[in-house]
């Protein structure tokens, strides 16, 4: 009984004065459908649109949230080595910090197919700040690939448009030269058709062929210009790729240790060991008495 009472008192004092208090912060969010920012979705006529992402989007977001770049970004941004009191003079200090962080950090899929990022820390404000920073970083990396793909397409369209514009300018110069040299006149018929007249038959036919190429190239250039404008609108769309249901906040109540549970477990273990010890002692005494 003395051991049991003493162990309970010691456990209570240990949990109050020695054990760190850990606070939990978490954020819950859904990945959105990033194709909503595509030009086809913005300027198309699609009526059935899924606003949230599918399982692939959830798995991608989870992979990003648990990736080394995100964790290292947090370690550097929040100076976690100093926060965990780990000296950078150690050879593998970053690995030590990362493992300690990962023990307190978790990014999982909930039963409702949402993504939840959570962290235990001794400072509730730091825990909330880290979780919210993780969510922003995940959003940034999640949009990065889609944005880069759009930018590459946008750049290719600009280059192609420049080539087509140069061709149109060349056609215009050539037509002007032919018209001046062979006195070619262009007029519009009653039905809207284009009439090309001149004294030199071959020059007229050449003029018509070049004019047809100019019209086709101009139409293609206008089409590219429309696509470029739509892509530019899509690129300017800075909407988040995550729909955050719960933003992390600084908890005002610790999650662990549960002091009553620490004391109870300690008392139970001490009582069990004490009873076993008493039984062994009595057994040894009986054996000695028989001898």
Q: pLDDT confidence of 46, banded at 50, 70, 90?
A: low
Look up the pTM and report it. 0.68
pLDDT at residue 48, rounded to an integer: 55
Q: What is the mean pLDDT of the chain?
A: 85
pLDDT at residue 117, rounded to an integer: 96
Distances (CA, A) of 52 to 1, 45, 206: 61, 19, 56
88 phi, psi to nearest 5 deg: -75, -5
Comparing 20-34, 45-59, 74-88, 211-225, which segment has the lowest mean pLDDT? 45-59
pLDDT: which is higher, 51 or 231: 231
Spell out the alpha helix ranges (H) of the chain. Answer: 2-17, 39-43, 55-65, 68-77, 80-83, 93-104, 124-182, 201-236, 259-290
Residue 20 per-residue DSSP state: P
Please give the span between the terminal C-alpha atoms of the chain, in angstroms, as a whole number: 30
Q: Mean pLDDT, to the nearest integer, of 255-275?
A: 77
Q: Mean pLDDT, to the nearest integer, of 13-21?
A: 65
Q: What percent of the chain has pLDDT over 90?
A: 44
Distance CA 204, CA 225 (A): 31
Q: pLDDT confidence of 80, banded at 50, 70, 90?
A: very high
What would the two tokens of residue 269 be? 């273990």
Q: Mean pLDDT, to the nearest integer, of 60-87?
A: 94
pLDDT at residue 196, rounded to an integer: 86
Most confident of 33-47, 75-89, 179-193, 272-286: 75-89
Q: pLDDT confidence of 40, banded at 50, 70, 90?
A: low
Residue 264 in this model has a pLDDT that exceeds 90? no
Comparing 10-19, 23-32, 34-43, which segment has the lowest mean pLDDT? 34-43
Q: What percent of the chain has pLDDT over 70?
A: 87
Q: pLDDT confidence of 240, banded at 50, 70, 90?
A: confident
Distance CA 134, CA 126 (A): 12
Q: What is the pLDDT of residues 113-134, one digit of tens each?
A: 899 999 999 999 999 999 999 9
Is 140:218 a contact under the CB 8 Å cutoff? no
Residue 93 in this model has a pLDDT that exceeds 60? yes
Residue 47 in this model has a pLDDT that exceeds 60? no
Q: What is the pLDDT of residues 152-162, one digit of tens each?
A: 888 888 999 99
Q: pLDDT confidence of 289, banded at 50, 70, 90?
A: confident
Nearest to 174 by CA among 220, 126, 147, 212: 212
pLDDT at residue 220, rounded to an integer: 93
Residue 92 in this model has a pLDDT that exceeds 70? yes
């Amino acid at each position: 009984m003395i051991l049991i009472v003493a162990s309970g008192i010691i456990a209570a004092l240990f949990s109050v004065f020695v054990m760190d208090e850990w606070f939990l912060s978490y954020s819950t969010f859904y990945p959105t459908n990033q194709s909503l920012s595509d030009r086809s979705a913005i300027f198309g006529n699609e009526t059935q649109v899924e606003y949230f992402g599918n399982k692939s989007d959830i798995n991608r977001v989870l992979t990003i949230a648990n990736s080394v770049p995100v964790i290292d970004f947090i370690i550097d941004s929040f100076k976690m080595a100093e926060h965990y009191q780990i000296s950078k003079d150690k050879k593998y200090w970053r690995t030590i910090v990362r493992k300690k962080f990962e023990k307190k950090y978790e990014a999982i899929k909930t039963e409702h197919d949402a993504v939840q990022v959570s962290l235990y820390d001794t400072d509730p404000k730091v825990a909330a700040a880290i979780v919210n920073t993780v969510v922003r970083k995940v959003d940034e990396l999640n949009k990065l690939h889609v944005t880069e793909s759009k930018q590459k397409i946008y750049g290719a369209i600009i280059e192609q448009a420049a080539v087509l514009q140069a061709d149109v300018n060349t056609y215009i110069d050539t037509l002007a030269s032919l018209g001046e040299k062979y006195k070619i006149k262009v007029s519009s018929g009653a039905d809207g058709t284009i009439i090309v007249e001149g004294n030199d038959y071959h020059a007229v036919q050449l003029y018509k062929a070049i004019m047809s190429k100019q019209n086709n190239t101009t139409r293609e250039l206008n089409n590219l210009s429309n696509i470029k404008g739509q892509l530019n609108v899509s690129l300017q769309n800075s909407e988040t790729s995550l729909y955050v249901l719960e933003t992390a906040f600084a908890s005002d109540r610790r999650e662990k240790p549960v002091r009553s549970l620490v004391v109870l477990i300690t008392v139970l273990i001490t009582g069990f060991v004490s009873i076993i010890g008493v039984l062994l002692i009595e057994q040894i005494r009986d054996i000695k008495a028989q001898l």
